[in-house]
């Protein structure tokens, strides 16, 4: 009986040792897995961080090319009149199928004549959905631009709008008048590159809260509506500065 008691104690002791060994093994394996998982997570985090930096590289470049975080600076992707380094930078978001824009274009030409090399004007697209011929006119201007006749087409489009004759027939007449390659022009109208460029302009405008055409930025400051050349009194009876006064102040 005494021998049996000793044997029982030995078996119990061996069992405890075995259980402890098994427990230690699983603890060791768990710690090893935790270490591996931690290392893997660190690697994943590092890869994710590098991927994020790479994916944001283009956005960072764009951020560097903004004025006070607002409107994109004029660059060689814009349609411009004047010296790109002129002290007064005028950016216009506009719509060809808009009577106010057609009148405003005349004011812009007057401003260019008055201030010449002191200003640069960049035209950006903002075709409004409510205007039936806005989009096709915008495409036409870009496709004329592909053949080196952007501003010539702009002149004809606004002239047609002033006469309330802007439509596809007059656009086709413009193609003939400007002696454009009709086959290339027609192919351009369905070119995704042109659609993407117009959409990019609309997206940029939306990002800086442009809500109507024309909207003008003069050295980053927004001026909604068709601004007169001279000072004026608005519909609320408030005196406002025209383009001439604003530019004079910037170049004095």
Domain chopping of the chain, boundaries: 1-64, 79-251
The Cα-based distances of 68 to 73, 209, 243 in angstroms read: 10, 15, 22
Q: What pLDDT does residue 70 have?
A: 84
Does pLDDT of 10 surpass 50?
Answer: no
Q: What pLDDT does residue 81 have?
A: 97
- Cβ atoms of 72 and 221 within 8 Å: the answer is no
Q: What pLDDT does residue 146 have?
A: 98
218 vs 49 pLDDT, higher one: 218
Nearest-CA neighbor of 76 among 65, 67, 68, 92? 65
* Per-residue confidence band for 200, with pLDDT thresholds at 50, 70 and 90: very high
Tokens encoding 251: 């170049």
Contacts 24+ apart (CB under 8 A), 3-6: none
* Per-residue confidence band for 190, with pLDDT thresholds at 50, 70 and 90: very high
Does pLDDT of 231 surpass 50?
Answer: yes
Question: Residues of the chain with pLDDT > 70: what percent?
Answer: 73
Contacts 24+ apart (CB under 8 A), 184-187: 184/143, 184/146, 184/147, 185/140, 185/143, 185/144, 185/147
Tokens encoding 44: 């994943």
Mean pLDDT of the chain: 82
Tokens encoding 175: 């193609």
Q: What pLDDT does residue 13 have?
A: 46
Strands (E), 174-231: 215-218, 221-224
| Dist CA 118 CA 46 (whole Å) | 50
| Dist CA 167 CA 110 (whole Å) | 26
Q: What pLDDT does residue 15 have?
A: 52
Q: What pLDDT does residue 252 have?
A: 87
CA 63 to chain CA centroid, Å, is: 11
| Dist CA 70 CA 68 (whole Å) | 5
- Give the tens place of pLDDT for each residue, 73-126: 999 999 999 999 999 999 999 999 999 999 999 999 999 999 999 999 999 999
Spatial neighbors of 232 by CB under 8 A, at least 6 apart, are: 239, 240, 242
Q: Which of 6-15, 65-74, 87-96 has the lowest mean pLDDT?
A: 6-15
Spatial neighbors of 213 by CB under 8 A, at least 6 apart, are: 93, 94, 95, 98, 100, 101, 126, 128
* Per-residue confidence band for 31, with pLDDT thresholds at 50, 70 and 90: low
Tokens encoding 30: 């768990």
Question: Residues of the chain with pLDDT > 90: what percent?
Answer: 71
Strands (E), the chain: 79-82, 88-94, 119-125, 215-218, 221-224, 232-233, 239-240
* Per-residue confidence band for 129, with pLDDT thresholds at 50, 70 and 90: very high
- Give the tens place of pLDDT for each residue, 144-173: 999 999 999 999 999 999 999 999 999 999
Spatial neighbors of 242 by CB under 8 A, at least 6 apart, are: 227, 228, 229, 230, 231, 232
Q: Which of 16-20, 56-60, 92-96, 106-110 has the lowest mean pLDDT?
A: 56-60
Q: What pLDDT does residue 14 have?
A: 43
Question: What is the CATH T-level fold of the domain 79-251, as seen in this structure?
Answer: Glutaredoxin (3.40.30)
Tokens encoding 118: 């002191």
């Amino acid at each position: 009986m005494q021998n049996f008691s000793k044997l029982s104690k030995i078996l119990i002791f061996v069992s405890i040792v075995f259980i402890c060994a098994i427990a230690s093994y699983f603890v060791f394996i768990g710690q090893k897995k935790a270490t591996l998982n931690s290392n893997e997570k660190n690697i994943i985090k590092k890869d994710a961080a590098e991927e994020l930096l790479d994916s944001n590289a283009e956005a960072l470049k764009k951020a560097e090319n903004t004025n006070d975080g607002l409107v994109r600076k004029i660059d060689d992707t814009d349609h411009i009149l004047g010296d790109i380094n002129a002290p007064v930078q005028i950016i216009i978001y506009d719509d060809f199928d808009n009577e106010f824009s057609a009148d405003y274009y005349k004011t812009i030409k007057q401003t260019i004549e008055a201030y010449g090399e002191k200003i640069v004007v960049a035209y950006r697209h903002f075709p409004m959905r409510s205007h039936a011929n806005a989009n096709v006119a915008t495409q036409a201007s870009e496709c004329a631009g592909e053949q080196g006749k952007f501003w010539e087409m702009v002149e004809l489009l606004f002239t047609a709008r002033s006469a309330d004759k802007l439509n596809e027939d007059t656009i086709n007449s413009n193609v003939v008048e400007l002696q454009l390659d009709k086959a290339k022009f027609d192919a351009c109208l369905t070119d995704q590159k042109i659609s993407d460029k117009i959409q990019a302009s609309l997206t940029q405008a939306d990002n800086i809260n442009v809500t109507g055409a024309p909207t003008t930025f003069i050295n980053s400051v927004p001026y909604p509506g068709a601004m007169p050349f001279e000072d004026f009194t608005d519909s609320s009876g408030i005196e406002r500065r025209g383009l001439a006064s604003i530019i004079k102040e910037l170049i004095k």
